[in-house]
Amino acid sequence: MKGRSWVRGTPLRSGDFPAGTPLNRFFAWNERAWHRDRRYTVACDLYRLITALGDTGAARALAVAHLVRRPVVIARRRQRVLVAQAASLDGPDVAASAIAAARRTVDRLTAAVGSADIAAHAAVFVAFEQLAAEIDLDALARRRPRIRPAERRPSPRRILVIRLSALGDFVQALGPVAAIRRHHRGDRMTLLTTSAFAEFAGRLGFFDEVMIDRRPAPLDIPGWLALRRRLRRARFDRVYDLQTSERSAVYARLFRPGPVPEWSGAARRCSHPHANLDRDRQHTIDKQAEQLLMAGIYPTPLPLLPAVDRDLPRSLAGRRFVLLVPGSSPRHPAKRWPTRRFAPLARALSHAGYVPVVIGSSAERHLGDEIAAQCPEVVDLIGETDIDTVAALAQQAALTVGNDTGVTHLAAAAGSPIVVLFSAASDPAWCAPRGRTVRVLAAPDLGELTVDRVFAEAVAAIGRHGPPGAAGDIAPVVAGRAGATGVGT
C-alpha cells in the first residue's frame, strides 16, 4: 500500500461484545459520551484498520506501526479512515518494550471481540496501561493522530485512594484497596478518609499514610483551600476515587490550575472513567471491581480483614458465641428486625450451645437492655466495642446475625458466617454483604420474618461454614454477581 487512501473498515461497537461484559459497557458509555475515552478512539482506529485490510499478518503489523512508529490512520470520516503507508518497525527510535506493548494491545483487543471471558476483557485494559507507559495515548487519539513518547513515570509513584462514607461502605472497599496495593507494589499509597476510620485504616497494612478529610461545608472557603493545598502538595500521580460521589468528583477540580493526576472514578473527563451507564444499579463491590478493571487492575478480591490482635472479653474466653446486631441507622427504622424477636432467637442459640453476644453503638443501649431482660444468658456489649474489637469478635464468632448495617459488612469481611436481614428499605442485590458464607433473608416487612426461620438459617450457616474461626479462600469478584456469596430466601 503506497501513499494515502480512504478505506472502509468494520466499526467496533458495543454490540460486538456480549451484553453486560466490561467492554460492552465501556463501548456503550463512549457511544453516548460527548468526550470519548482515548482508549476507545484508539481501539476503534485499530479495528477499522485491521478489518479494512483483511485481518492479515500485514494488517496487524500496520496496526502495531500505527501505535509506536508513526500514525497509519491519519484522519477519520464516519466509517472510513485515511490510511498512510507505515514505516518499518526496525530502527533505534522504536523501543522493544513499545513494540511488545503495541502487539499485546492489538492481539488482546481482537481476541476480546465476541468473547464473554471477563479475563479477556481485563487483558485489553491492562494492555492499554502498558502501552500508555510507552506512548501518549491522548496524542494518538486526537483528530489528527500523533506519536509522542509518554512522560517518564516517577518511581515510586504516589497513589491516593479516596474512601469516605459509612462503615459498611468503607468495609466493602477493602477488596479494591487490596487489589490497588497489589498492583502498586513499591509505590507510596495514601488514603483520604474521615476521622472515624483513620486509626482503623492505618492498622490494616495497606497504606503508607492516612490523610483525614474534614469534609468542609459548601461555604467553608478556608476549609476547601486547606484541603486543596494538602492535595496539591502531595503531588499524587494517580487517584482511585472509590467514593465516586459528587463531592469526591469535586476534589479532582481542586488540583486546577495545574495538572490533574490520573484519575480512576466518575469525575468529569477523568483519565480512567468507570465507563458504565448503569453503574448506579450495580452492587457496590461489583461497581468498584469493574472500575478497577477499566483502570488495568484485575482481579479484585472480596473484602477480607487481616487478623485483628485484640483480646476478647473474659466472659467469652474458650466459649462458642454468636454475635447479634439488633440495631441499624436510626434514620431507617424499617431496616430493623423487631427487637422483641432477638430475645427468643438468643434463647434458641443459647440452648444450642452458643453464647449470644449483643453488640451495637451507645445510642442502641435500650435494644441490649430489652434483649437481656428476656434472655439473661446474653452477654451485652452494646456501647463497649470499637471497630477493632468488633472485627476481633467477628473473626472468632461462630456466626453473626443482624440487620442491614455496617457491622454485618465488617463481620462478613472478618470471615464470619452471617445471616443478614433485609426489608424493602434496601435491595440486597445492590448492597448485601459478601463473604465466605452470607445468607440473606429478605421480606418486604421484617416483621414477617419469624424467629424459627431466622434460627434455621443460622444453623444452616454455621453448618456450611465449618468450625468457628476457620478461614477460607476468598474468590475474586468482578462484573456480575460472582463471588462467595450464599443467598437464603
- Residue 301, classed as helix, strand or coil, is strand
pLDDT tops 50 at residue 87: yes
| Alpha-carbon span 349 to 319, nearest angstrom | 13
Residues whose CB is less than 8 angstroms from the CB of residue 54 and which lie 6 or more positions away in sequence, other chains included: none
Q: What is the percent of the chain where pLDDT is above 70?
A: 93
Which of 1-5, 61-65, 313-317, 342-346 is least confident? Answer: 1-5
239-253, 308-322, 371-385: least confident range: 308-322
Instruction: Say what the pLDDT of residue 93 is.
Output: 76
pLDDT at residue 2 greater than cutoff 90: no
Q: pLDDT: is 489 or 366 the higher one?
A: 366
Query: What are the beta bridge partners of residue 438?
Result: 418
Confidence (pLDDT) at 329: 87
Nearest Cα residue to 311 out of 408, 411, 386:
386
Domains 158-293 and 314-465 share a fold: yes
Q: Residues 167-181: what's their mean pLDDT? A: 97
Closest by Cα among 71, 300, 51, 36 to 176: 300
- Long-range contact list for 339-345, CB < 8 A, 24+ apart? 339/367, 339/370, 339/371, 340/370, 340/374, 341/449, 341/450, 341/451, 341/454, 342/367, 342/371, 343/370, 343/371, 343/373, 343/374, 343/375, 344/374, 344/375, 344/451, 345/401, 345/451, 345/454, 345/455, 345/458
Give the separation between CA 477 and CA 9, rounded to whole angstroms.
Answer: 36
Grid cell in block for residue 354? 452458643
**Secondary structure E strands in 166-301:** 188-193, 209-212, 238-241, 262-265, 272-273
Give pLDDT, residue 330. Answer: 86
What is the C-alpha to C-alpha distance for residues 435 and 129, in angstroms, rounded to an integer? 30
- The strands making up 418-422's β-sheet, listed across from edge to edge, are 379-380, 355-358, 321-325, 399-403, 418-422, 438-442
Q: List, in sequence order, every residue forming a beta bridge with 402; answer none if it has no partner.
A: 325, 420
The predicted pLDDT at position 475 comes to 28
Q: How far apart are CA 45 and CA 12, in angstroms?
A: 9
Helix count and strand count (H, E) for the chain? 18, 15
Residue 90: per-residue pLDDT: 58
Average pLDDT over every residue of 423-451 = 95
The answer to whether 389 and 355 are in contact (CB under 8 A) is: no
The CATH number of the structural domain formed by 314-465 is 3.40.50.2000
CATH topology for the 158-293 domain? Rossmann fold (3.40.50)
Statement: residue 170 has pLDDT above 90: yes
| DSSP H helices in 362-427 | 365-374, 387-396, 406-413
User: What percent of the chain is modeled with pLDDT above 90?
Assistant: 83
Q: Give the pLDDT band of residue 469 (cuts 50, 70, 90).
A: very low
Q: Mean pLDDT in the chain?
A: 91
- Helix (H/G/I), strand (E/B), else coil: 417: coil
- How many Cα atoms are found within 13 Å in the side-chain-facing hemisphere of 111? 16
Residue 352 has pLDDT above 90, yes or no: yes
Domain locations along the chain: 4-140, 158-293, 314-465
Judge whether residue 340 has pLDDT over 50: yes
The Cα–Cα gap between 432 and 20 comes to: 20
Residue-level pLDDT at 89: 57
